[in-house]
Amino acid sequence: MEEREQVLYRLAKRGDKEALQDLLRSLMPDAARFVRRLLPGSGSVEEIVQDASLALYRNLGKVDSAEMVRPYLFRIIRNLCYDELRRRGRFAIVSLDEAGSDWLEKTSDGVLSPAERIEADCEYSELREAIFRLPEAQRQTLILYSYEEFSYAQIAACMRTDIGTVKSRLHYARKQLRKELALLKEEEDE
């Protein structure tokens, strides 16, 4: 957690409404990205982020430390996304075109040739598809660890589980991804 967010948390906890607004503003881009990853193609991103912000505002007193603000917020978001999935009738099939381009932010360095970029995009699309096929708990754990850079303890707090379960979910998610990507590679080689 950034030092600025820690200061804003302490001020907000003491009742400084402006600090709370600044804290929420600093968390919202990550929160929106997390919603888009859990509900690709959803038009509910802004609504879920606003609902989560309001819930954090109302319950800031329940957050024990500045380091637990993000896990607490992401747990709220996770629960709101589950509610949205239930309203939709469980897991909707979503085109990768609708999933958004923010998944490529972490892989694009701008120095690839057009051919290399196309190949990298294809490989990343395959990875993204494999991630979407993971069981929900494994997918969320992997997203929180790999993309949001949460610690095991933060993921455990967010998902209301223990660290051992987090490690197990990451292990099996990675194992499944390696297996699926190896199968895709074999199919390409044939």
Give Cβ neighbours of residue 97 (< 8 Å, ≥ 6 apart): none
Q: Which of 45, 69, 94 is the last residue of a domain?
A: 94
Give the CATH number for residue 89.
Answer: 1.10.1740.10
| Residue 128, domain extent | 97-190
88 and 162 part of one domain: no
End-to-end Cα, the chain, rounded Å: 47
67 and 111 part of one domain: no
77 and 135 part of one domain: no
The answer to whether the pTM exceeds 0.75 is: no
User: Directed axis angle between helix 17-38 and helix 3-13, to 10°?
Assistant: 120
Q: Which of 56, 74, 94 is the last residue of a domain?
A: 94
84 and 154 part of one domain: no
**pLDDT by position in tens, the chain (length 190):** 578 888 888 898 888 889 889 998 999 999 998 888 888 777 788 899 999 998 988 888 888 888 888 888 998 998 888 888 777 765 444 444 444 444 444 444 455 555 566 666 566 667 777 788 888 899 889 888 988 888 999 899 888 899 999 999 999 999 998 888 788 777 666 6
128 and 168 part of one domain: yes
Number of domains in the chain: 2
Residue type, 150: F
